[in-house]
Structure 1
Amino acid sequence: MASSDLAIGVIFLSQTVVGFLGNFLLLYHYSFLYFTRCTLRSTDLIIKHLAVANSLVILFKGVPQTMAAFLLKHSLSDIECKLVFYVHRVGRGVSMGNTCLLSVFQAITISSRDSRWTELKLQTPKYIGLFSILCWVLNMLVNICVSMHMIGKQNSKNNTAKVDYGYCSGTVNNRTALSLYNSLLLFYDILCVGLMIWASGSMAFTLYRHKQQVQHIHGTNLSPRSSPESRITQSILVLVSSFVSFFTLSSILSLYSSFFHKPSWWLVNTSALITSCFPTVSPFIFMSRDPRISRINYAC
């Protein structure tokens, strides 16, 4: 085994373990808050769905990449490749959708009382669970197409029209249908990222205006303690900023690799690492900025 393969394998393994444990702890903490009824928020349900989706992305991307990096003899069969890619794509889509839902919901929640969103603000908490479930169903239906052109490495030797992912291969039998499918996924990605950017801008403007009003009332020398809504809004802004950054970098690398019939080793692995960065980082953003979690070990 080459030293480069060993190094990338250790990185993938570390990222998988840290990311899965982080999302497991996040899901545990928010489930504990739910069952003990300790200061529940409307965003908690979205965050739990996000933790589950991120765990799927990490497991079904990180484990196969780790196996491929360590050059393990077991190669995935056609069915295993279809399952791995399908679950990974569903988890990725749900993660993106719930991050978008979280940012939009919080932007509506902190909007001013006299805004045109007042009526919507009162109704949105009732439909959070429905929107999260619809996000799962939509991605489960759309990503069925992924399983149709994924095959194991052992069956891809005689297939020239293929894309090598390290542990599986993707066949390109109908370029027109594949282009239409990729356009559909691209539309979903652009829509979610666009809504995230809009919601982030709206939240940042609302927080800035609120800060100016507070300083005008209390004076510039007084720094009042931020409210729970302000803290969760700041957490979501950090979350969305990290998501957009990792998503943009991952998209650039994926677009760059699409110009090559056989992308280089470092390009495939770098793209895979960046893809799993957001699911790995996001639970620690929530746990570090939510004071309820730090009090679980002491009060609840």
Structure 2
Amino acid sequence: MDNTDLAIGLIFLIETTIGVLGNFSLIGHYIILSFTEYEWRSTDFIHKHLIGANVLALLCKGVPQTMASFGRKYFLSDLGCKLLSFLHRVGRGVSIGSICTLSVYQAVTISPRNSRWAELKVKAPKYIFPSIFLCWILQMLVNIIFPIYLTRTSSDKNITDKKEFGYCSSDRHDKMEDSLFGVLLSFPDVLCLGLMLWSSISVVFLLYRHKQRVQHIRRTTASSRTSPEARATKTILLLVSTFVYFYTLSSVFQLVISLFDNPSMILVQFAAVVSLCFPTVSPFLLLATTPRYSRYRRYRRSALQGEGR
């Protein structure tokens, strides 16, 4: 094992550890809230599935990649290689679908009551569970064909008809067949990306218009404070732009890898590092925007004091 493999293995180890700890911190945050009188929001249900999808993607990709970088490429059987690759794809897809559902739900719920979404706005909370459930089922069905072409990496150096991806490898196919296969696997992700961009732009536009409408009733003394509309806009833009950045970068690397019959292992490993960035970063973005127990406790205490007067 050379220094490059050691450095990449440490990157995988650190990224996986930070990502798993961040997602479990978010789980602990919700467990603490469950012991309070916190009123659960519909978006909390989406967050919980996003956490589960992130952990699945991190463990099923980060752990085997770490072991492969440290020289343990041949520890998986064919079944293990197929199963871990399938679970990683499902977790990645559900993570994308959860962010998409969250963005669309926010766009619908903040729309004006006289808009064309008025009827859907009332029913939106009821559609969250079916949407997330459908996301899990759809990702399982779409990605069920993904592991078919994968096998465990063999120690035989004379194999030339295999494309190696670290701990797994695949048979080489016709470029047209690989392109069609890639389009099929990417279609749900591209659809979610389009919905996410549309809903995020809609949210930003609605918040900006609301800010312009109420700006004349705000006192000039409060102008130095950040308005709720501005904070909400920054949160939405931060979450979506982070996802779009890492997803686009990951897609570019995957496209480049698919064009080579024998891609460089450094390129394959770097693409894997990028694919784990969003599951690693997203829990910390959510922790920064979810309700804090101390803040809720102060709000609850002030409310009780107001009732006692």
TM-score of the superposition, structure 1-length normalised?
Answer: 0.90
SS at match of 1:154: coil
Note closer, same or farther for the CA distance 1:130–1:10 as it changes in structure 2 (3 Å cut): same
Which runs of no fewer than 5 residues in structure 2 stay unpaired? 301-309
Q: Which residue of 2 aligns with 1:182?
A: 182
8 Å contact kept, 1:149–1:172: no
Indicate the residue corresponding to 1:13 in structure 2. 13
SS at match of 2:105: helix
- Contact 1:162/1:172 (8 A) holds in 2: yes
Give the whole-Å Cα distance in 1 for the aligned partners of 2:263 and 2:178.
19
1:170 alignment counterpart: 170
Residue 146 in structure 1 maps to residue 146 in structure 2:
yes
- Equivalent-residue separation in structure 2 for 1:225 and 1:139 (angstroms): 40
- One-letter amino acid matched to 1:130: P
Q: How far apart in 1 are the matches of 2:171 and 2:99?
A: 31
- Give the equivalent residue in structure 2 for 1:71: 71
Shift of 1:74: 4.6
Aligned in 2, Cα 1:119/1:261: closer, same or farther, shift over 3 Å?
A: same
Query: Which deviates more from structure 2 when the two are superposed, residues 71-80 or residues 239-248?
Result: 71-80
Q: Provide the residue aligned with 2:119 in structure 1.
A: 119
SS where residue 291 of structure 1 aligns? coil
Q: Distance in 1 between matches of 2:156 and 2:240?
A: 38
How far residue 152 of structure 1 moved from its aligned partner, in angstroms, is 0.6
Gaps of 5+ in 1: none
Q: What amino acid sits opposite 1:129 in the alignment?
A: F
Scaled by the length of structure 2, what TM-score is found? 0.88
Could you tell which deviates more after superposition, 254-263 or 155-164?
A: 155-164
User: Which position in structure 2 is the counterpart of 1:51?
Assistant: 51
Structure 1 pair 219–286 and aligned structure 2 pair: CA distance change class (3 A): same
Change (3 A) 1:131 1:197: same
CA distance, structure 1, for counterparts of residue 156 and residue 123 of structure 2: 51
Report if the CA contact (8 A) 1:156-1:162 is conserved: no
Shift in Å at residue 234 of structure 1? Answer: 4.0
Structure-2 residue corresponding to 1:203: 203
Q: Is the 8 A contact 1:94 1:136 kept in 2?
A: yes
CA distance in 1, matches of 2:167, 2:267: 15
Residues 163 and 170, structure 1, Cα contact 8 Å, conserved in 2:
yes
RMSD of aligned Cα (Å)? 2.5
Q: Does 1:243 align with 2:259?
A: no
Q: CA–CA distance in 1 between the matches of 2:107 and 2:215?
A: 22
- Structure 2 Cα separation of the partners of residues 174 and 149 of structure 1: 13
Equivalent residues in 2 for 1:219-258, closer than 5 Å = 219-223=219-223, 226-227=227-228, 234-258=234-258
Match of 2:145, SS state, is helix
Please give the alpha-carbon distance, in whole angstroms, between the structure 2 residues aligned to 1:61 and 1:77. Answer: 15
Distance of 1:212 and 1:184 partners within structure 2: 43
Q: Which has the larger radius of gyration?
A: 2
Matched, 1:24 2:24: yes
How far does the alpha carbon of each residue in 1:99-121 deviate from its partner, in whole angstroms, 9 at most, with x for none? 10010101111112221111101
Alpha-carbon separation, structure 2, partners of 1:155 and 1:293: 53
How far apart, in 2, do the equivalents of 1:102 and 1:169 lie?
35
Deviation of the 1:181 alpha carbon: 3.5
Count, aligned residues: 299
Letter in 1 for 2:193: V
Partner of 2:133: 133
* TM-fit CA distance, 1:174: 7.4
Distance across 2 between alignment mates of 1:217 and 1:4: 60
Shift of 1:226: 4.7
Q: CA deviation at 1:76?
A: 1.3
